[in-house]
Amino acid sequence: MPNITLSSAVGRAAAFAVVIVLVALIAWCSRSSTKYRPMTKADHCMGMPVRAGPTGPLIGYLIGGAMVDPGGGPVAAINISVVVDGEARSVWRRESDVMHWYVPVHAISPKDCLWTAPGLTGGMWRPTQLEFGLAVPLWHRLFGGWTPHHGLSTSRRPI
């Protein structure tokens, strides 16, 4: 019969209690963390945060929509405020591409939603030199933010 002392039994009970507390803490944190879902047209709100995936990096915040001509005819596009190389920049992406991104559940209530649809601006938008147009790929940096330069410390797929 194994020799079990009082101190070893107390040690095992303490270790078991620590494990139970850690499991409960992890369960509570995962339950209380922000939930994300695929974007819908109803989520087009100024200031809405968008992510590359349900656990993916923050891309930026929606600004508004416009019709943009990248050279092959006008397309509906979305303007997003994105941190690029450490500065907040205006980035344009096709509306069809943005619809594959994710938004937090219940981030902005519909009554507080402000949005300019791509067709309501009354003309064609031409991105300026300070903005990133539809054709400019951006890669996520492993240590935060986005960059137009692909390298070892960037993601594989650009937005």
Taking only the tens place, the pLDDT of each residue in 95-114 is 888 888 988 887 677 677 77
Kind and range of the H or E element at 72? Answer: none
Q: Which tokens hold the place of 146? A: 């986005």
Could you give the percent of the chain with pLDDT greater than 70? 75
Task: Give the side-chain half-sphere CA count within 13 A for 12.
Answer: 6
Which pLDDT band holds residue 33 (cuts at 50, 70, 90)?
Answer: low
Task: Give the pLDDT confidence of 59-87 residue by residue, as tens digits.
Answer: 898 888 888 877 778 888 888 888 888 88
In tens, the pLDDT along 123-138 reads 667 767 677 888 888 8
What pLDDT shows up at residue 97? 87
Mean pLDDT taken over the chain: 78
Q: In which band, very low, low, confident or very high, does the pLDDT at 2 lie, cut at 50, 70 and 90?
A: low
Whether the Cβ atoms of residue 63 and residue 82 lie closer than 8 Å to each other = no
Radius of gyration of the chain (CA): 23
Closest CA to 113 of 44, 60, 61: 44
pLDDT confidence of residue 120: 58
What's the CA gap between 1 and 58, in Å, rounded? Answer: 58
* Number of neighbouring beta carbons within 10 Å of residue 121: 14
Residue 54 pLDDT > 80: yes
pLDDT band at residue 6 under the 50/70/90 scheme:
low
Give the percent of the chain with pLDDT over 90: 0
Label residue 1 by pLDDT band (50, 70, 90): low
| Host H or E run for residue 102 | strand 102-104
